[in-house]
Amino acid sequence: MAGKRGGSSKKLLHALDLDGIASTLRNVSLPGKALTWSRFCGALSLVLTVQLFISGAAMCLYYSPAPGTAYDSVDFAMFSLPFGSIVRGIHYYSWNLLLAVLGLHLARAFIIGAYKRPREPVWISGIIILLVIPLFIITGDLLPWDQKGYWSTQVRLSIISSVPVAGDFITRALRGSSMTGIVALTRFYVLHILFLPLLLSCLIAVHFHFLARRGIAPSLKNSNSEVSRVPFLPDMVNRWLFLFLITTVILAAISWYWPAPLGDPADPTDSSYVPKPEWWVLFLNQLVTIFKGPLMIVGSMIIPGGVIIAIIALPWIDRTPDRHPMRRKGVMIVGAIFIMLFFLLSIVGYMEHHGPLH
Amino acid sequence: MISRRAINSMGILAGIVFALSMQTADAHRIVVAARHIAAAPGGLDDPVWGTLPVVPIPVKGRNESANDDETVWTTAAYTDETLYFLFRWKDPTLSVIKQSWYFDGSAWHHLEGNEDRIALLFEITRITNFATRGCAVTCHSPVDLPRERWKLATRTEREKGDLWHWKAARSAPHGHADDAWLTVAGNPTGSYRETGRRKDKGSGGDIKNQTGDKSGPLYMQDPKRPPSAPGFLLLEEAVEIKDYSIFKAGDVIPFRLPRYPSGSRSDVKSVSRHGGGEWLVMLYRKLDTGHDDDTIFNPLKKYNFAIAIFDNSGADHSKATQPLTLEFER
């Protein structure tokens, strides 16, 4: 039977002219170290991205991108369709977890000096992927057309419009009219389900391309030792599938018990609503709070932009070939200060908006 | 396949992320959280009420009650099938007269006095801006229309509300709240102004107890049956008065005769008591009645609602809340 099945699949692949690709994939192998726990974040990021694509596609089947019906369509999909709240919950918790996992992935790459020659393109494509994810969140936030999404978007557009030269243009391009209405919702929707997924897919392909060409960063302990290799198909793919299954079950269980939030329907006339910044943006919100008035651009653009440029340029700033963190004390101290400031601003922001200082 | 260390690390990370991502409701909003209970409360004095959180809900007076703010102490619970509310509010005077007939020895007169009430409004389908403005968009006239012409209605046919209206003299005697629903304004019953209030399917409500010339009562308690709600006259227990000579000066007969509800109109049940200068009212209804004129309560969802209380009132002067949120603890 097994032989027959194998024969059938070979025939099918041949008929589809895919036998060459299948054979290539079977010959691809990876260092055994690629499957260790310390590299777990990369695989989990990929799995969560796939979760987001699948759950997002499922939600699209019932979503209506117009202010009068968007909220009701999300409400219907969540509470009237079987497993609707679980699908939206998986989508919601996946992006929250993805941001944190990508943050850890970046931190690990920084600590082991994985950005160094010859892996600069891997580092840069990874940073760009990390910068694209918030665009998904910003565009996705408006789609349910609830109070939180609507007023968070208003705040974000107001911050964007404060950027000199391009701010007004970007705001008008996103909003499409003087008010955040049907044109803005349509544009955010198309960006969220079409342009951004295309961009992210391309970036992931580029990231993997350079990863395959330049190789994964070897271990710090025995970088020159010969490592065992494992086949991409089926070992790596099976692990991804197993991780996908486990993640789906866990996120579904969480979503069943704590459905993704859906606030009150948006009321554009209710200017008394003050949106609370979400956890991932608390540090940025604090920066904007510190630099008020004409200095707002320092918190909203100059500091975040400077940090992003510095992170992208890291392979050229830290040019020593040594990757061990103990022998890169200067870079590590700067990195540690940055991480401490990130957490400090986030904690203060959390206390102000969600905690005892609220 | 995946080391325990990896799973532990990811578990901690996931825990932090999930805790942070679970945003709570708007902090300024009053939330009534219904707690799941295993068995239905036996009544107003069931010990289970003492174990549940009580939410103080301010109600602000309007019109004749403008300077008369009050607090409705609210508790909510639910079983697998039914949602329960217990309301308590101060009201030193029990008002159930509702213009009862009084015989002075020679003629019948209406007594002065009305009844106490509490009303709840939920959304069956979304009512635009009800979540942020509550009754202001339904109970009261829009600013562009005269108040005499339009009352208690939604703007479009797509918007529907579910109204639970407990009346001390007209629905409480048979242990119900009048179950109605809300749609666009019209005048289906020939009332003095347009309203969007519609009765749920089925019978119920009350009838006026008066003769053709409106000079006195038409019905009295059936002498063969003891009243099931002393002090009230239920339509099912009423008989037409054949001999008015049996009445003596000082006799009182209710003017409004509650009719036992049936069908969808009987969905909201009540138990109530007035004592110690306050009302204690329990309202309960199936989470899903199966009727399209009722809100379906899904414990996964949050619901916007509003409350109004009426003190000795037959009109719309009342004390009402801001929009509230009902959520189900799981």
Give strand ranges (E) for chain A.
29-31, 229-231
| R_g over Cα of chain B | 23
pLDDT tens, residue by residue, A299-327: 888 899 999 999 999 999 998 888 889 99
Phi, psi of B199 (to 5 degrees): -80, 145
Q: If you measure CA to CA, which chain B residue comes closest to A268? A: B129
Residues of B in contact with A278 (CB under 8 A): 20-21, 23
Predicted confidence band at B109 (pLDDT cuts at 50, 70, 90)? Answer: very high
Whether residue B132 is predicted with pLDDT greater than 50 in this model: the reply is yes
Quick: pLDDT tens for A86-127: 999 999 999 999 999 999 999 999 999 999 999 999 999 999
What is the model's pLDDT at position B210? 96
The CA distance from A12 to the nearest CA of chain B, in Å, is 31
Confidence of residue A154 (pLDDT cuts 50, 70, 90): very high
Is the CB of A96 less than 8 angstroms away from the CB of B27?
Answer: no
A47 with A241: CB under 8 angstroms? no
- Distance to chain B for A37, nearest Cα, Å: 5
Of the partner residues B22, B23, B300, the one whose CB lies closest to the CB of residue A276 = B23
Question: How far is Cα A112 from Cα B294, in angstroms, rounded to an integer?
Answer: 61
- The pLDDT value recorded for residue A31 is 78
> What is the predicted pLDDT for the residue at B319?
83
Cβ contact A147–B26 (<8 Å): yes
The pTM of the whole model exceeds 0.90: no
User: Could you read off the pLDDT of B252-309 as tens digits, one per residue?
Assistant: 999 999 999 999 999 999 999 999 999 999 999 999 999 999 999 999 999 999 999 9
Cβ atoms B96, B231 nearer than 8 A: yes
Which one, of B132, B118, B147, lies nearest residue B59 by Cα? B118
92-131 in chain B: CB under 8 A from chain A: 125-126, 128-129, 131
**What tens digit of pLDDT does each residue of A60-94 get?**
999 999 998 999 999 999 999 999 999 999 999 99
Please choose, from the candidates B62, B171, B169, B70, the residue with its C-alpha nearest in 3D space to the C-alpha of residue B115: B169
In the block, residue with structure tokens 């108040």: B147
Query: Which helix (H) or strand (E) is B76 found in, with range?
Result: strand B70-78
Per-residue pLDDT band at B25 (split at 50, 70, 90): very low
HSE, CB side, 13 Å, CA atoms: give it for residue A282.
Answer: 20
Confidence of residue B326 (pLDDT cuts 50, 70, 90): very high
Task: Answer whether residue A222 shows pLDDT above 70.
Answer: no
Cβ of B301 within 8 Å of Cβ of A79? The answer is yes
pLDDT at B92 over 90: yes
pLDDT of residue A2: 44
Share of chain B above pLDDT 70, in %: 83
Q: In this model, does residue A253 exceed pLDDT 70?
A: yes
What is the per-residue pLDDT across B29-81, written as a single tens digit (0 to 9) for each? 899 999 999 999 999 999 999 999 999 999 887 666 667 788 999 999 999 99
Comparing CB atoms, the residue among A93, A264, A358 nearest residue B132 is: A264
pLDDT band of residue B225 (cuts 50, 70, 90) is very high
In which band, very low, low, confident or very high, does the pLDDT at B102 lie, cut at 50, 70 and 90?
very high
Question: How confident is the model over A219-245, as a mean pLDDT?
Answer: 79
- At B222 the pLDDT is 95
SS3 of B208-258? ECCCCCCCCCCEEECCCCCCCCCCCCCHHHEEECCCHHHCCCCCEECCEEE
Model confidence at A358: pLDDT above 90: no
Q: Which residues of B touch A71 (CB under 8 A)?
A: 126
Q: Specify the range with the lowest mean pLDDT, choosing from A163-167, B97-101, B122-126.
A: A163-167
**Residues A211/A205, Cβ–Cβ less than 8 Å:** no
Could you tell me the pLDDT band of residue B224, with boundaries at 50, 70 and 90?
very high
Q: Are A88 and A59 in contact (CB under 8 A)?
A: yes
Query: Please, which pLDDT band fits residue B6 given cuts at 50, 70 and 90?
Result: low
Q: Is A252 exposed, middle or buried (0-12, 13-18, 19+ CB in 10 A)?
A: middle
Note the pLDDT of residue A83: 95
Q: Is the pLDDT of residue B15 over 70?
A: no
Confidence of residue A164 (pLDDT cuts 50, 70, 90): confident
Q: Tell me, what's the pLDDT at A254?
A: 95
Q: Is the pLDDT confidence value at B201 over 90?
A: yes
CB contact under 8 A, A37 and B2: yes
